[in-house]
Structure 1
Amino acid sequence: MLMWVRMAPPLPLIFFLLMIHGVSSAGWSVRYSPSRICALKDSTVIMRCTYKYPTGHQIMKVFWTKGPIQRGVKLQDLSKDPEYSQRLQYLGDKQQNSNIRLSHVTLKDSRMYYFRIITDKPDGRYTGDSGVNLTVTDLQVESPERVTEGDSVTLRCKSSCALTDRATFIWYRNSQPLTERRDRNNELLLQSVRREDSGRYSCAVDGHTHISPDVQLNVMYPPRSVSVLINESGVIVEGDSVTLNCISDSNPPALNFSWIKGGTIVGSGRIFNISKISSDDSGEYKCKSINEHGEKYSDTVTLNIMYPPRSVSVSISPSGVIVEGDSVTLNCISDSNPPALNFSWIKGGTIVGSGRIFSISKISSDDSGEYKCKSINEHGEKYSDNVTLNVMYPPRNVSVLMSGSGVIKEGDSVTLNCISDSNPPALNISWFKGGTIVGSGRIFNISKISSDDSGEYKCKSINEHGEKYSDTVTLNIMYPPRNVSVLMSGSGVILEGDSVTLNCISDSNPPALNFSWFKENEPSAVGSGQSFSALQSGRFYCQAHNQHGSQRSDAVTVTVHHVAGGNVIVITAASGGLVFIIIFVIISVIILFILKKQRSVKAEDHTVNEAINCSDCGRFISDLQQRQMSERDQQTQSLCSIV
């Protein structure tokens, strides 16, 4: 190519050669017919020529070559050129004419082509310099860029040169033939263009495979067929994300969109998004599509947002005070979409009923408590808050509770609590001991309780609906032994070998069961049990015990006298006076004297035995003195004188 540029002949020579149809020089001539060819891309071209050569020359070779021709450059046979060899065919006899057929021509094939003769003579080389000018063209559709619906439009099928062959044009829209009619008219007239005429237009020449590139015809028109597309075609549940898409047919495409809910603009743009949709977004929506040629509204679409129950509450009828025996109705109120049809009633943690209405006839205190309802639809469920049924009733199950369930000891503080089941709680409480009111208020306190507080107690509980007494409870006050004393079972003269019985008397609760006997000045007990037999002289006392304590008695004196080998026991109280001591001494001397002097007298022995066993020393002494005075008056007087 660079060599061709350097060796090209001057421009005026090339121009001259192109203007002639044939050249004759000294018996040489080549004529081309036609000298100019305008061929359609991918078509077949026939280039014709006739030639003459001088007499005496013999043809050695003829061939076609492509231009440009350059001096000093060897011309190449097209049949040997790889770009042409498969597409080139010789049709002439190579003696007087040499026509060629070139198929599937391309735009690169546009150039000058020449015929070359070679004979057997040294000067037998000749090229027909005028050549054939081949122009390969394609088709182009000429169309206005934009038209408006209703305009008249002309489309032209153009080529870069006038086709040599007679041409009949064919038109296509969107690759489909527009009509079967074929003529030489390279124009397509669209009168009163419609939006349906929009599309890709191309043209071709009948009998040829080449089709022009598509040209888009845009027919402008205002929005039409405006509609709303919802991305969720099924049920829309609260919390979903919903997209509304405004579908509009317009040219140019609408760029201005408005969204209207009811009569209010709520958004703009082709897409209207609602993230986490709520029931407040329910309603009718439409969009308005606008371009420079007009505007149009879509039909309305309805967003029906489904949601589970919410705002669940319970209403109570009657709404005032509820008294045992009344009839009560509970109503479960719920907001949901679709409306809830399934309801459950719960008291505490237990299901007690179903349905929107829950009725209780002749209500009792057992029906008191916290109630709630559960509202259910296919999208979920929700509980109401608790409502309390507070059923009023008079006191019942009235009882007394003591502060301590164990033993109550004298000196303790005791609290009695009046327990009452009533609604409203009883505020008026009275306390009774026996039939006497002893206090008021729920709590009755006794500080430093004593045995005098023992007895039966009860309380009376009162509210505005009635009153009731409790059962009685008994206060049994425990205390240790007190007022402990010794009781002697007998008195007077005790013969040798006999004993006197001492009894320990005490006041205690519970009664003392444990008694100990002591002799003064001796460290250890000398006996136990409530009774004690004294056999020797001394001062004796007892000590009484129960689980709450102990107390000792005053001491009593036991005196044993030895008379004629025997013992006579004289008992005096520790606190007795001198007179009693003297009387007992006199009696003892008299008894000793009589026993000693009249031991053989049976009647007197019997009398002495009675004296020893008597339990009332005073009566014994009196009887004895009377008998002695009557029978032995003188003897007795002598004894008394001696004393």
Structure 2
Amino acid sequence: MLQLATILLTVLGVFTQINIFSVKYPDKLICAVRGFSVSIPCSYSYPQDHHVVQKLWCSMNSNTDMCVNPPYVYNSSSNTKSDFEFTGDDKSDCTLLIHNVQFSYSGEYRFRFITNVDKGKCTGLPGVTLQVTDLKVSLIRLSGNGTLKQGDSLNLRCDVNCTHTSSQFVWSKNNQSLNTSGPVLHFPAVTVRDSGNYTCTWKTGETSGSETISLHVEGDAAQWKIWIIVLVTAGVILIALVTGAVIYNRRFVHAKQQMEDDSTIYANIPQNKGACVSFANVQQQQKGFAIYANVR
């Protein structure tokens, strides 16, 4: 009985020791938008008396050796720069960040780590699956045809060909956030003010991506005619005011010059204070003509 208990404890100890080595990935598909970045969460564990000496990530698109041998998309022993960046640590975090995601990056990824103890190695099986897709924003006309005009009805729809339960859509116009959510932006009757650049941003816990579409709404022709008439009328009034001001200024300058010319008067009046009869000889100069007056 004692021997059986010893065997059971030994087996349990070996089983526990084996299960200490582990790698955990998200239990769901990871989606990414082409051209953007995506983070693949990952955690790992190993015996406390071990020390991690090498960390590896492999893509099963190119690695057919269960990630035991190269090629690797990331190798901590190599200084090669690529779109695959390890953002974890030597303790428990094995997160992989992929930049500038391309369609060819779709597939299964696995993490492998090696410790300083013989046979202290582990590859997380099965791996995590990455799906790369495009984000598209489309304009769906609900009324009207041809160029957009005031009163037309339409939808802007944001599509991503990837199922993700925790994703969300954020809309903005000319880099200003809109108080709306969901993949569809509805316009029951567009106006000229609705013209602009609309951006749909798709977000998850691991990635985000955005796409922009331009919306141009033509104004009512009759309304434009009214504005043209108003502008022309305002221009005529402005020209009349400027012309009147110029004429007034010229008349004012002319009147001032006239007064200065009239002020040039010469008067010479000799008087005999002792007699009853006085003579006045007045000479005036006005515009080049001499006027003489004899008064008795």
TM-score normalised by L of structure 1: 0.25
Report the structure, 1 or 2, having the larger helix content.
2
Which has more radius of gyration?
Answer: 1
**TM-score normalised to structure 2 length:** 0.49
